[in-house]
Amino acid sequence: MVQRTFSIVKPDAVRKGFTAAILAEVEKAGFKLVSIKRMSLSKAQAEGFYYVHAERGFFDELTTFMSSGPIFPMVLEKENAIADLRKLMGATDPAKAEEGTLRKMFASSIGENAVHGSDAEDTAAFEIGYFFAGLELK
Ligand code: CMP
């Protein structure tokens, strides 16, 4: 089933100049780039995006980091996009990520982990709608 998922090149990876290299790996893995833009989040916008983690101890650190500089949010499409992107990203903690995964290649810590990817169909729908309007997704 052709499916869409949502991803972000996070501020650490943008700062280090890894955006194009990450996009190249994503395209090499068979994902079609449906939509992408560069923007910066306010702290409140980052809190809205990560609201499911509001009670976690790392919420303030996470939302401060995600509002610390430009990001590239994007919508990606392929067969099994949600699960396949999570495989390509690797473990949340780059120290545990396998060789060849985006986090092994580009991330430095569990907080500054280079990329985000939706974990399920309902979260992908919420996350795509949080960043993109229907006219940007044709
Ligand atoms: P992401 O896939 O964007 O979804 C939630 C994020 O929370 C996750 O990536 C990590 O960057 C972050 N996160 C998870 N656990 C921790 C932690 N222990 N400390 C800081 N950030 C974390």
Q: What is the DSSP letter of 98?
A: P
Residue numbers of the chain with a pLDDT score lower than 70: none
- Residues with C-beta less than 6 Å from any ligand 1 atom: 53, 58, 61-62, 92, 110-111, 113, 116
Q: What is the pLDDT of residue 22?
A: 98
Q: What is the pLDDT of residue 75?
A: 98
Nearest residue CA, atom 4 of ligand 1?
Answer: 116
Q: What is the pLDDT of residue 6?
A: 99
Determine phi and psi for 34, rounding to 5 degrees. -85, -40
Q: How many domains does the chain have?
A: 1
Instruction: Please give the model's pTM, rounded to 2 decimal places.
Output: 0.97
Query: Among the atoms of ligand 1, which is closest to the Cα of residue 89?
Result: 2
Q: What is the pLDDT of residue 57?
A: 98
Q: In which domain, by residue range, is 21 found?
A: 2-136
105-115 per-position pLDDT tens digit: 999 999 999 99
The sign of the CA dihedral 81, 87, 90, 96 is: positive
Active-site annotation holder among 35, 62, 116, 117? 116
Known catalytic residue: 116? yes
Q: What is the pLDDT of residue 43?
A: 98
- The token pair at 135 is 């006219």
Kindly report the CATH number assigned to the domain that includes residue 76.
3.30.70.141
Residue 80's SS3 state is coil
| Whole-number Å distance between alpha carbons of 59 and 46 | 10
CB within 8 A of 28, min separation 6: which ones? none
Q: What angle do CA 94, 37, 76 make, to 5 degrees?
A: 60
The sign of the CA dihedral 39, 42, 44, 47 is: positive
Nearest residue CA, atom 1 of ligand 1?
Answer: 116
